[in-house]
Amino acid sequence: MKINIVMGFFLPVPPAAGGATEKSWHRLATEFATRGHAVTVISRRWPGWSDRETIGGVQHLRLPGFDHRRKLWQNLALDLRWSLRVQAALPAADLTVVNAVTLPCWLARSRPAAGRVVVMPGRMPKGQFRLYRGLARVLATSTPVRDRVLAENPALAGVTRIFGYPIAWDGLALPPRPVPGNKTVLGYVGRLHREKGLDLFVEACARLAARPLPPWRVLLSGPVDVARGGSGPAYRDGLAARLAQCLPADRFTVADATFDEAALARRYREIDVFCYPSLAAQGETFGVAVAEAMAAGAAPVVSDLACFRDFVHEGANGLVFDHTAPDAPDRLADRLAALVYDPDQRLRLAAQGQSDVRRYDFPVFADRLLADFASLLSPLDHASAVL
């Protein structure tokens, strides 16, 4: 197959300046190329980089882009300019994956040589799917994302599939291990932001501190700066101060974020019970950190958000608590205590979870995508595009 992958207007690929979407599609593009497909990635021009080059079998085409703006209307205007620029430069292909907002509105009709049009929303849709026409596939990351897509455009029901989100399972996975005389680590890795429910986690830990439990400790790690999605240094300091009220200094750590993949994998592997008590019902689209922690051998304890239900199953590979209940900290404390008390249960959940999330490993995920892409090119399926 000939596959185009269109990125957004403000970051380059390979992902030298970060970006979860850029990292994922860069890795997927390489996976596609290793299987013999002709892949072209269109991304932002970057200082010192060639406008055209081949890396790992992937053709890269870089066009003038723009810096991200603070106001939504400005970003939408820049996305429109970017989409028109991309349309003019797109090579002929069997299929084009679009990670821009406005381009899917017209690409299928205006540029049929670009092939079937595929969209994978990285964030919760905000009305744009009402305008989309001619899509061959919508790759929803979770059930709530699919539901939002269909609420905006019911005509997309026949082409929308839930795929989840790819993770580097193979680079994370080690067998879940017993705690060899050390403290069970209750951990969180992700943005240190209020919407992630970290105040709830800390309050649950305060309740655990009053219970007669085997040894345990707490690890919080992630970006705190507002520019990186955190709630600011004062919020982090408040979490640390609350932990210090109920735990000795050697029983909790609030660590800086790490963006190096090997270092991040080591941090995940420090954690025995991964707590992700997110409150962001409208913001969570999958739960990448939860899946990554499961791959690394941690047993997850998560809030009862719909996005987690696609891969965290109560009592089978993790535990769930009602984050909306008036006694939510006590409920979370009970869930965490159960896994500190019972290492056999923790190991059972962790082993099953690690197996379950292997379907999101990049090579496995790439094979699933390619099989789906191939089905879109069959004559029988061609009539299913939403016009």
Per domain, the residue ranges of the chain are: 2-166+361-382, 169-359
Do 265 and 171 touch, CB atoms closer than 8 A?
yes
Look up residue 372 and give its two tokens.
């789906």
Pairing relationship of beta strands 135-140 and 160-162 according to DSSP bridges: parallel
Tell me if the domain spanning 2-166+361-382 has CATH number 3.40.50.2000.
yes
Q: Which two three-digit tokens encode residue 48?
A: 């010192």
- Per DSSP, what are the bridge partners of residue 321? 303
pTM of the model: 0.91
Residue 55's closest CA among 90, 93, 17, 27?
Answer: 27
Give pLDDT, residue 180. 65
Tokens 């305008």 — which residue? 131
Summarize pLDDT for 124-141 with one digit per residue, the tens: 999 999 999 999 999 999
pLDDT, tens digit, 9 for 90 and up, residues 256-281: 888 788 899 999 999 999 999 999 98
Q: For domain 169-359, is the CATH number 2.60.40.10?
A: no
Which residues of the chain carry a pLDDT beneath 50? 380-387
Fold agreement (2-166+361-382, 169-359) = yes
